[in-house]
């Protein structure tokens, strides 16, 4: 089993409800166990145009799936929640990102792990630190160091 961390985000159609429902669906992924979830956080949007604030969280999974199979399962959950991929970084009903997949470093056409922008996003690092405060990144960087260097963004726990 591989321990992985999934970033959750939504800013449309009852964002907190979208995250709760996604967590329920993630718990149903075959050969996968939902081990925990951070608190929910409100954050300012990053992306084009005027958008509502996001609700974000990080979930911990243990899975026997390979990374791309897990990605397929997560994208199916996004689709069940009405996710439309029309505008990069646009508003969305649900976004599920594989942040970390064990200590693997993956660079494929479909998947980059660790998530390439997680070190710039306090709405990822704060909830991740809530779940795993002593976590060490696959490149050896301690999570607290990333968090200390992360740009500030309007963020608060809900």
Choosing from 3, 66, 72, 95, the catalytic residue is 95
CB within 8 Å of 133: residues ≥ 6 apart: 143, 144
Tell me the two tokens of residue 139: 């490149």
Active site residue 139: no
Residue 145: pLDDT above 60?
Answer: yes
pTM over 0.85: yes
Domain positions in the chain: 2-157
Q: Give which of 42, 69, 128 is closest to 150, Cα–Cα.
A: 128
pLDDT of residue 154: 85
pLDDT of residue 93: 84
Active site residue 95: yes
For residue range 55-89, list pLDDT tens digits in order: 999 999 999 999 999 999 999 999 888 766 665 55
Active site residue 92: yes
Q: What is the CB-side half-sphere exposure of residue 132 using CA atoms within 13 A?
A: 22
Contact 29, 63 (CB under 8 A): yes
- What is the H or E stretch that residue 6 is in? strand 2-10
Choosing from 3, 53, 83, 85, the catalytic residue is 83
Active site residue 14: no
Assigned fold of 2-157: Alpha-Beta Plaits (3.30.70)
């Amino acid at each position: 089993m591989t321990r992985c961390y999934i970033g959750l985000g939504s800013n449309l159609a009852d964002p907190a409800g979208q995250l709760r429902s996604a967590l329920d669906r993630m718990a149903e992924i075959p050969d996968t166990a939902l081990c925990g979830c951070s608190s929910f956080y409100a954050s300012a949007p990053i992306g084009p145009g005027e958008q509502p604030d996001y609700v974000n969280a990080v979930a911990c999974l243990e899975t026997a799936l390979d990374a791309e199979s897990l990605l397929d399962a997560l994208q199916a959950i996004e689709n069940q929640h009405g996710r439309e991929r029309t505008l990069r970084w646009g508003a969305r009903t649900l976004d599920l990102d594989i942040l970390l997949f064990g200590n693997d470093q993956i660079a494929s056409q479909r998947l980059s792990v660790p998530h390439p922008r997680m070190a710039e996003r306090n709405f990822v690092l704060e909830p991740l630190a809530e779940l795993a405060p002593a976590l060490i990144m696959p490149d050896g960087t301690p999570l607290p160091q990333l968090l200390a260097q992360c740009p500030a963004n309007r963020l608060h726990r809900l």
